[in-house]
């Protein structure tokens, strides 16, 4: 992906998340890695109002190279790029995910689609927004192959090889949180066992093999 493509992808992703009501006002931020550079959303601009010319360019040390002032969450994005091998990152304050982040340390596996996020999403411990500590806490929450996490009393975040995948994962996390809330409203949810999740993982693997060309 080149820089013009990265900028267009950020604009499209911002509109997508806003259309799905996962962002409010100027909350939330996105970024894409292009080689040893990162294109990020600017500070103080709603994600549904992005213009390619406004987007910020920084290096892997966080130095601002061009464009508008970058998001205040640059330390979070840098920590994730350094530790996860991500190609893109999405972070929002989606209402249900944020609510659930205030109540649990790990989202229970009520549905096998937690496997699409590498396992039941964990909640990163609270730290002030924009701090290096917040980035470190989220890295810890993603250990072991997780690709999305809740951020205690803050929001949600996901990584992906591109913005499409990062947004897919963020939307799935919000859906899982909605399921969590609704299930608890109806009664005491039944959580999938480790054996049931292992069976589902094998089924996913078989399904992926059958989707490969030539099979």
Catalytic residues: 73
- In contact, 155 and 130? CB cutoff 8 Å: no
What is the Cα–Cα distance from 75 to 65, expressed in whole angstroms?
Answer: 16
- For residue 43, give every residue at least 6 positions away whose Cβ sits within 8 Å of its Cβ, in sequence order, or none: 26, 68, 69, 70, 71, 72
Q: Which residues of 139-170 are buried (b: 16+ CB within 10 A; e: fewer)?
A: bebbeeebbbbbbbebbbbbbbebbebbbbbb
Write the burial class of residue 41 (CB in 10 Å: 0-12 exposed, 13-18 middle, 19+ buried). buried
The structure tokens listed for 17 are 């998340």
- In contact, 98 and 155? CB cutoff 8 Å: yes
Instruction: List the beta bridge partners of residue 89.
Output: 31, 159
């Amino acid at each position: 992906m080149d820089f013009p493509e990265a900028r267009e992808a950020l604009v499209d992703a911002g509109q997508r998340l806003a259309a799905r009501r996962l962002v409010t006002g100027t909350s939330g931020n996105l970024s894409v890695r292009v080689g040893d550079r990162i294109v990020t959303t600017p500070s103080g601009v709603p994600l549904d109002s992005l213009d390619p010319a406004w987007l910020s360019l920084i290096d892997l040390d966080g130095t601002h190279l061009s464009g508008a002032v970058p998001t205040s969450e640059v330390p979070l994005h840098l920590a994730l790029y350094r530790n996860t091998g991500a190609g893109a990152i999405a972070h929002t304050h989606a209402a249900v995910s944020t609510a659930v982040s205030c109540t649990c340390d790990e989202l229970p596996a009520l549905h096998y689609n937690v496997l699409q996020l590498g396992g039941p999403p964990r909640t990163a411990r609270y730290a002030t927004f924009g701090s290096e500590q917040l980035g470190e806490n989220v890295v810890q929450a993603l250990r072991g192959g997780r690709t999305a996490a809740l951020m205690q009393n803050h929001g949600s975040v996901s990584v992906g090889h591109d913005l499409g995948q990062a947004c897919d994962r963020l939307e799935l996390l919000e859906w899982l949180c909605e399921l969590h809330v609704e299930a608890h409203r109806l009664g005491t949810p039944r959580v999938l066992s480790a054996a049931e999740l292992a069976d589902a993982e094998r089924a996913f693997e078989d399904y992926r093999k059958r989707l490969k060309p030539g099979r």
